[in-house]
Chain A
Amino acid sequence: MSKTCTVAEGVAAIPKGATLMVGGFMGVGSPHRLIDELVRQAKGELTIIANDSARPGVGIGKLIGARLVRRLVTSHIGTNPETQRQMLASEVEVELVPQGTLAERIRAGGHGLGGVLTPTGVGTVVQEGKQTLTINDRLFIVELPLRADFALVNAWRADHIGNLSYAMTARNFNPLMAMAGDVVLAEAREIVPVGVIPPDEVMTPAVLVDRLIGRSRNDG
């Protein structure tokens, strides 16, 4: 079976209430077509794991604005007043995670690790309720791995079998999430024949990608 599908087919497989990892940093490198389709199909009660919630009307901010998010695991919501308002009104549950810890928790989930030990957060509210370990006289927090039902990633280039390559700072969380989702949906700026991306430049191997979102006639 070809792994290529339309954006509507890709999103149709996501049930209401699913846990999604969504790539991007302030909307840069976010899977914008998949996000727009989640809004169009009104997939609600989602748990979203993502670096930030961007701005109102941008990237993951669209999911917040459409009230599709029940729980958000993220490092920063300061640029989206709507997320803060929904959090203070208890309409969305927000777990704030230091950015480096978020990246490592996702990496641990994707790499089969039982968690990571980090010094980040020691002596702050982040440490509350968590196990700690002392290694070589230094205190570390035990941070648990994160996985998701679906990882939605954005690449600069995909080839016909789903090898992915990312551009500059649009890479961010995308390759980490492509390792940590049970089902990985990838969209790309352009899709090229196999071989155009040299093996050394493949950042996410095709074996990790379950569905490749095809271009549609309407895409710019």
Chain B
Amino acid sequence: MDEKTIIARRVAMELQPGSLVNLGIGLPTLVASFVPRDAGIFFQSENGIVGMQAMLEQGLETEDLTDAGGSPISALPGAATFDSAFSFGLIRGGHLDVTVLGGLQVDRQGRLANWMVPGSMVPGMGGAMDLVTGARRVIVAMTHTAKGRPKLVDVCTLPVTSDRCVDLIVTELAVIQPTAQGLLLKELAPGTDVEAVQRATGASLIVPDIVPWMDIGLT
């Protein structure tokens, strides 16, 4: 199983039935594939819909119904569409239960940087700053390292997305929770160990006596 699938499967297990969830573009979008259809989870897309679902059959696309990346989607029975001010009212107003976002860096304080690399990549923040500021729970879904360099760092060197501390970080190696004392190692992926995860992490981890294996819902 590739690392992105491991991450997406583990994040999917965090989503409670009946919740309203926004998935960022890229890796987070994969999470929807691992959520049971009967879980009653509604996905929001910030371009103006609650109740989006993947396009199930080719040939049914319409140019007026897409996700935030502009790709055609479908909608569940009970879906609703609205304008951009309302969409971000949902996000900022505390109505969104969970946002799952990709990350470039997360630091010891749990601050996320995911919107620019000065001088080389300036895509803009899009909805990311509102999502991190406003969602009840922020889950970062990202690979543990990029080109061998840790993405979990002592202090973010890239511009942060918000001063809010994220709630959970899921990588292919571990599940980590930022706390007031630092980054707490909550779960380990099968096939790795504490030393290997610490070596791949740019901040020191708080390691409890017992660290359970990461469950990715294969049972």
Contact = CB atoms under 8 A, between A and B. Distances in A.
A98 B160 CA distance: 13
A78 B83 CA distance: 22
A163 interface: no
Interface in A42-93: 51-52, 54-55, 74-79, 84, 87-88
A104 B133 CA distance: 15
A207 interface: no
A76 B49 contact: no
B83 A99 contact: no
B176 to A, nearest CB: 22
- B-side interface size class: 35 or more
B130 A100 contact: yes
A202 interface: no
Interface stretch (A3-11, A12-20, A144-152, A173-181): A173-181
Interface string B120-135: 0011111111100110
B69 interface: yes
B179 interface: no
B3 interface: no
Interface string A112-127: 0000001111111110
A87 B66 contact: no
Contact of B48 (A79, A84, A104, A169): A169
Given A78-B123, A118-B92, A169-B49, A26 B70 contact: yes
Interface string A92-136: 000010111111101100000000001111111110000000000
Nearest to B70: A26
17 contacts: A25-B84, A26-B66, A29-B64, A78-B126, A84-B123, A87-B122, A98-B130, A99-B125, A100-B87, A100-B129, A118-B92, A120-B133, A168-B48, A168-B81, A169-B49, A174-B83, A176-B83
